Structure 1
Amino acid sequence: MSAGLVWNRDGADWPNRETSQFISAAGLRWHVQIAGNGPVALMIHGTGASTHSWRRIMPLLTRRFTVVAPDLPGHGFTSTPDRSGLTLSSIAREMTELMRALRMEPDLVIGHSAGAAIAIRATIDRRMRPRAIASINGALLPFGTPIGQFFSPLAKLLVSAPMVPQIMAWRGQNRATVERVILGTGSKIEPRDLDYYSRLFKNPRHVAGALGMMASWDLTKFAADLPLLNTDITLIAATNDRAISPADAITVGRLIPNARIVKVERAGHLAHEERPEEIARIVDEIADAASADQFRSKRYSG
């Protein structure tokens, strides 16, 4: 396995660095950021990202929550498990073991893209018992968009070729290439955020972790389990998302008993990076509703 990112070098200016710590759990060395006071909100980023993805929304949520934001296995500054440890069920288990090592139980789980699937899998498997889940452009169904249909089988092919992560990381050194990938998801992010993605994408171990995760997941089986979720969930769907179709939220909303849909206009797949204040406001509303037990009658907005 290629060398990973080095914290004292690559993380010297990492967002919210003062909240970072390293924890051993589930046979992994995790990079996790913890800040704030109040009920625990676990934030799980998506494939190919890291804690940097929450850099602008995290300070907004720490006013109300104790925010816990780890790098996923094989991503950012967290170590990589073997291939079997990158399946959806395995990552849900590993995430749960991390929270146990921290002696924390999440009241709210906020998952972006693949992070939402991890939150749901852990909850269905009764590894976590949050009062509510917030799914931001959740990757919860077999990929239906053109970009999703392209990347999913491609990852399965590429992960078997040892040199591919190095080649893709070499391509990632071209900032313009990284920018095209981000724009392809329907999002336009700040130059500083693009710099962090560029730093990640040029590291072969991070690329290998993202590819390995994509190649190991079976979303068809996962989608069949969605009706088993009995926890309140809000499906935040950005209308300009080109990676996960906003229509997926409607399909998922019909499958999960206690679901509601909230649309975010004129935002793409990285809606929480483009519109952190709006997403934070929605999260606050979710927490208010969970506290008041107002989710029980199914409703849709937007």
Structure 2
Amino acid sequence: MSRPLEWARDGRDWPHREASRFVSAGGTSFHVQILGAGEPLLLLHGTGASTHSFRDLAPLLAADYRVVMLDLPSHGFSGRPRWRQPSIAGMRDLVAEVLDQLEIAPAYAAGHSAGAAVLLRMAIDGRIAPKRIVSLNGALLPFPGVAAHLFPGLAKLLFLNPLAPRFFSWRARHGDAVARLMESTGSTISREGLAFYERLLASPAHVEGALSMMANWDLEGLRRDLPRLCVPLTLVTGTRDRAIPPEVSERVARMVADASVVSLPGLGHLAHEEAPDRVADVMREAFAQGLSRSLPAAGTGPDCAARPSS
């Protein structure tokens, strides 16, 4: 059994620890953080990250919103639901259960990378009905060509090998492997930020959770359903993103009825960690556009006119 992160030990100096709580949902425990007051704003991190990814962005947004963050299943300090696959549909259901337990219906939502895909899946399926969603370098379309089959297949092989998570966590504890990984995304983050990623990736359980998520991730269904998205969408892209090319957001914008793209020059895949002030300003401006919008309650399901896929 892979050793999970322990809150008392590994979370002793976690960002915004005072805002943390643990919520039971889907047969496991979820690490949740809530900051600020106002209309609820849900933030979802991407694969391999945790709430720490929003450590600098969340306080800026908490001046205007009640910011709700959680570690995705098998990530960070959230547990592993043994009876659920870490697919995009499984993530949709588990995040919705956490929100139900908290009795929170997000007025706004933002997700980074794979977190954005989870939010769009939830909105399309009527599990949330925010006034607007912001995608931060969203991983919203399948990899092109052979990569669409290669990367999930490789992740599945690594996940099925019980030594793989231990190997990756060993690498995270030795040398500059994590720093090189972050740089490969086109981003340069602080030494403090790197230290949190090193702590996460030093845990075989966290690495196993990320690999499992990648192995079960299928964005083809989301691609087909994007024209059904009723919620206005702002797609924020870093021009130096080497993980998710900005062209992905441009393609998605052509598939969604109400979508716009905002480019952030000089920033990479972790733009919200590199320049939280700039990202917070973009998010506030985007959310201000949805102040007068009224949407159906979560659970009613969208019924938008379809547009051709791109």
Show the counterpart of 2:85.
85
Q: Which has the higher helix share?
A: 1
User: What is residue 267 of structure 2 aligned with on the other side?
Assistant: 267
Q: Which residue of 1 aligns with 2:286?
A: 286
Q: TM-score with structure 1 length normalisation?
A: 0.94
Larger deviation: 148-157 or 17-26? 148-157
- Equivalent residue letter for 2:282: I
Distance in 2 (alpha carbons) for counterparts of 1:175 and 1:77: 24
Deviation at 1:143, TM superposition (A): 2.0
| Equivalent runs, 1:192-231 vs 2, <5 Å | 192-231=192-231
Could you tell me which residue of structure 1 aligns to residue 3 of structure 2? 3
Within-5 A mapping of 1:47-66: 47-66=47-66
Percent identity between the two aligned chains = 44
Q: How does 1:177-256 map to 2 (within 5 A)?
A: 177-256=177-256
Distance (whole Å) between structure 2 residues aligned to residue 283 and residue 83 of structure 1: 35
Structure 2 unaligned spans of 5+: 295-310
| More deviation, 210-219/77-86 | 77-86
SS at match of 2:143: coil
Partner of 1:40: 40
Q: Residues 102 and 27 (structure 1 numbering): CA distance in 2 closer, same or farther, change over 3 Å?
A: same
TM-score between both structures, scaled by the size of structure 2: 0.91
Structure 1 ranges of 4+ moved more than 3 A: 144-153
Instruction: Determine the structure 2 residue equivalent to 1:163.
Output: 163
Structure 2 Cα separation of the partners of residues 217 and 67 of structure 1:
27
Deviation of 1:148 (Å): 8.6
- Please state if 1:173 is matched with 2:173: yes
Aligned length: 294
The offset of 1:175, in angstroms, is: 4.6
Q: Distance in 1 between matches of 2:241 and 2:97?
A: 32
Cα distance in 2 for residues equivalent to 1:150 and 1:57: 34
How far apart are 1:188 and its partner, in Å?
0.4
Once the two structures are superposed, residues 260-288 of structure 1 have per-residue CA deviations (whole angstroms, 9 ceiling, x without a partner) of 10001100000000010011001111111
Counterpart Cα distance in 2 of 1:148 and 1:44: 23
Structure 1 residues 170 and 151: CA distance shift in structure 2, 3 A: farther
Q: What are the superposed Cα offsets for residues 77-109 of structure 1, whole Å, 9 maximum, x if unpaired?
A: 000123743010011110011001001000111
AA at the equivalent of 2:177: T
Unaligned runs of 5+ in 1: 295-302
Moved more, 137-146 or 81-90: 137-146
Separation in 1 of the partners of 2:84 and 2:25?
16
Which residue type is aligned with residue 81 of structure 2? Answer: P
Change in Cα spacing, 1:165 to 1:78, as seen in structure 2 (3 Å) is same
One-letter amino acid matched to 1:23: V
Q: Tell me the secondary structure at the aligned position of residue 252 of structure 1.
A: helix
- RMSD across aligned positions (CA): 1.8
Q: Secondary structure at the match of 1:162?
A: coil
Return closer, same or farther for 1:276/1:269 CA change in 2, 3 Å cut-off: same
Deviation at 1:157, TM superposition (A): 1.7
Quote the offset at 1:26 in angstroms.
1.5
